[in-house]
A = this chain, B = another copy of it.
Amino acid sequence: MLIRPARPEDAAAVWSILEPVIRAGETYTLDSDMSEREALAYWFGPDKETFVAEDGGAIVGTYYIRPNQAGGGRHVCNCGYMTAAAAQGKGVARTMCEHSLAHAKACGFRAMQFNFVVSSNARAVKLWQTLGFATVGRLPAAFAHPVHGLVDALVMFRAL
Contact = CB atoms under 8 A, between A and B. Distances in A.
Interface of A: 25-26, 28-32, 69-76, 110-111, 113, 115-116, 118, 136-146, 153, 155, 157, 159
Contacts of A136: 137-140
Contacts of A137: 136-139, 155
Contacts of A69: 29, 116, 142
Contact of A71 (B29, B70, B71, B72): B29
A145 B74 CA distance: 11
A90 to B, nearest CB: 27
A87 B144 CA distance: 39
A72 B118 CA distance: 10
Given A115-B115, A155-B155, A25 B140 contact: no
Contact of A146 (B72, B115, B143): B72
Contact of A139 (B140, B141, B155): B155
Nearest to A155: B137
Contacts of A139: 76, 113, 136-137, 155, 157
A56 B86 CA distance: 64
Contacts of A138: 136-137
B144 A157 contact: no
B25 A71 contact: yes
Contacts of A142: 69, 73, 76, 111, 113, 157
